[in-house]
Amino acid sequence: MSEIRTIDAYLAEVRGHLSPLGASDRDEALVELESLLRADADRAGEAAAVAALGDPATYAAGVLEAFEPDEVAEADGRPVPQGHVLGMPYDFRGASVERIGSRVWNPADPRIFMPRMFGVGWTINLGAIAVTLGLIRPDDVGDESYDRIPKGALNVTLAVPAALAAIAVVLMVVAWPTLPAQVPIHWGVSGKPDGWASRTVVIGALLALAIVPAALTYARVLRRDVSARSRLLAAAGLGMEAVLVLGIAAVTVADANGGASGNWVLLVVLATLAVPFLMLYMPLRSGLRAEWREVRGQNGRSV
Amino acid sequence: MAAERDTRVSQFRKGALELVILALLDRGELYGVEIVDQLAERPGLEASAGTVYPLLSRLKKAGVVDTTWRESPVGPPRKYYRLSAAGTRELEEMSRSWRDIAAAIDGVLAEGAHDE
């Protein structure tokens, strides 16, 4: 590697090594580094300032270590948002199975409102809700529980998002001729629409949202080497998305036909919680029951 | 001032909690609620279930503790935690480090006392 002599080259090099960091942390670290370098360059010259900091890879490693608590926390199952805006956590890194595992289904963590998986705001921790409702104890579900889920129960659960997406697609195709050129896309608190868009754009977007994430997720999780845990968590995340798409499609169609009201919107919101909740809780309960049946046969079984 | 002191104490305690839990499990296996209760009996070491359970889950993933389901007289079977072989070694190393650093800090604090 050739000698780095300018501040910009050094910053670019460090930025490259900081890719594991979230964008906001990375930018913060780089802004700090740049002001440090510029102050030093004023005194000693640019090349000397850059040389004083040493190898950019080593410097970046130090920065990564300083930010490590978050990474460690995430690995421990304690969710860490990418950053905060106006006091609300945000995250635009996309939903990975680990993020679903640490936020949407994390019975060990009693917080019901978790930093959101994608976007701004909070995600509901369905695992904490199951614990609060007294359905499970915080440590009942372990990694083994996923492997004990009966094949049939797992397969049915995996099929739920596909079924929801298929219903949404059929509904939109069938209802297409009944839709006006402009359909509502936003509803006020009273349930009255207060925003409209072209039906081609709205239905096109909803069809894409029904099909594309499902196709991508199934292609990823139906491979042979994917664990039951990854499959279930990914399916639950997809189920939440599919029920939302179906709900929006249903409200749009019903509204065009004069049937939608504020209650519909509330129903959709509840369904986006209830569907993934059942998709996680029902199969995991079967998995736990399978573990417990074995204990009742013996005097205790290592798991 | 009191609030500031509480934050300091909780910072110390956070790092020590893992060691304390390993030490409790070294005396025999316990289930989750028992661990929380035993901590609550020790002033200064109380920790909420929301702190203890995620820590237990991390210790399990790290292979430091093993778990066993055992029948409970009430309700469904309980998940008991015990030290694994790696956990016993971890406990030895952690207690040694803890004693070393505690002795070193005591030494520094004592020096400070002489200077004044």
Q: Are A20 and A65 in contact (CB under 8 A)?
A: no
The domain limits of chain B are 2-115
Alpha-carbon distances of A100 from A124, A151, A246, B10, rounded to whole Å? 11, 22, 21, 29
A52 versus B26: the higher-pLDDT residue is B26
Looking at CATH, the fold of the domain delimited by B2-115 is given as: Arc Repressor Mutant, subunit A (1.10.10)
Please compute the mean of the pLDDT values over residues A43-59 and round it to a whole number. Answer: 81
Give the residue from chain B lying closest to A142, CA to CA. B57
Identify the CA nearest to A234 among candidates A124, A146, A158, A287: A158
Please compute the mean of the pLDDT values over residues A137-160 and round it to a whole number. Answer: 94
End-to-end CA distance of chain A: 50
Contact between B69 and A295 using a beta-carbon 8 Å cutoff: yes
Is the pLDDT at A285 greater than 60? The verdict is yes
pLDDT of A253? 87
pLDDT of A1? 45
Q: Any idea of the CA torsion for A125, A128, A134, A138, to the nearest 10 degrees? A: 140
| Helix (H/G/I), strand (E/B), else coil: A184 | strand
Q: pLDDT grade, residue A229 (50/70/90)? A: very high
Alpha-carbon distances of A151 from A41, A56, B55, rounded to whole Å? 65, 50, 31
What is the percent of chain A with per-residue pLDDT over 70, rounded to a whole number?
A: 81
Q: Residue A11 CB: number of other CB atoms within 10 A?
A: 18
Distance CA A233, CA A226 (A): 11
Please compute the mean of the pLDDT values over residues A55-74 and round it to a whole number. Answer: 67
Considering only CB atoms, A76 lies closest to which of B49, B54, B70, namely B54
pLDDT of A117? 63
pLDDT in tens, A170-208: 999 999 998 989 887 776 666 677 788 898 999 999 999
Burial class (CB in 10 A: 0-12, 13-18, 19+), A290: middle
> Beta-strand (E) ranges in chain B?
30-31, 65-70, 78-83
ipTM confidence: 0.78
The count of residues in chain A is 303
Tokens of A167: 């219903």
Distance CA B88, CA B82 (A): 10
Q: Are B59 and B87 in contact (CB under 8 A)?
A: yes
Interface test with A, best of B69, B70, B82 (most A CBs within 10 A): B69
Interface of B with A in 53-112 (CB under 8 A): 53-54, 56-58, 60-61, 66-71, 76-77, 79-80
Distance CA A81, CA A84 (A): 7
Residue keyed to tokens 């480090």: B97
Please state, rounded to an integer, the average pLDDT across all residues of chain A. Answer: 82
End-to-end CA distance of chain B: 24
Please compute the mean of the pLDDT values over residues A229-251 and round it to a whole number. Answer: 92
Contact between A76 and B79 using a beta-carbon 8 Å cutoff: no
DSSP output for A123-145:
EE-HHHHHHHTTSS-TTT--HHH
Q: Give the CA radius of gyration of chain A.
A: 25
Distance CA A14, CA A148 (A): 46
pLDDT of B1? 47
Q: Are strands A119-120 and A301-302 parallel, antiparallel or unpaired?
A: unpaired
pLDDT of A177? 92
Contact between B79 and A111 using a beta-carbon 8 Å cutoff: no
Tokens of A150: 């009966």
Tokens of A243: 């029920």
A50 versus B14: the higher-pLDDT residue is A50
Q: Any idea of the CA torsion for A132, A137, A143, A144, to the nearest 10 degrees? A: -140
Is the pLDDT at A280 greater than 70? The verdict is yes
Is the pLDDT at A300 greater than 50? The verdict is no
pLDDT less than 50: residues of chain B: 1
Give the residue from chain B lying closest to A302, CA to CA. B68
* Angle, vertex CA A128, rays to CA A288 and CA A243, nearest 5: 85
> Which of A108-112, A275-279, A298-302 is modeled with the greatest confidence?
A275-279
Is the pLDDT at A114 greater than 70? The verdict is yes
Contact between A302 and B68 using a beta-carbon 8 Å cutoff: yes
Q: Are A21 and A71 in contact (CB under 8 A)?
A: no
pLDDT of B4? 59
Q: What is the pTM of this model?
A: 0.71
Please compute the mean of the pLDDT values over residues A92-104 and round it to a whole number. Answer: 70
Q: Classify residue A180 by its DSSP letter.
A: -
Q: Are A106 and A93 in contact (CB under 8 A)?
A: no
Distance CA B53, CA A128 (A): 12
Residue keyed to tokens 């001729």: A177
Is the pLDDT at A267 greater than 80? The verdict is yes
pLDDT of B20? 95
pLDDT of A121? 63
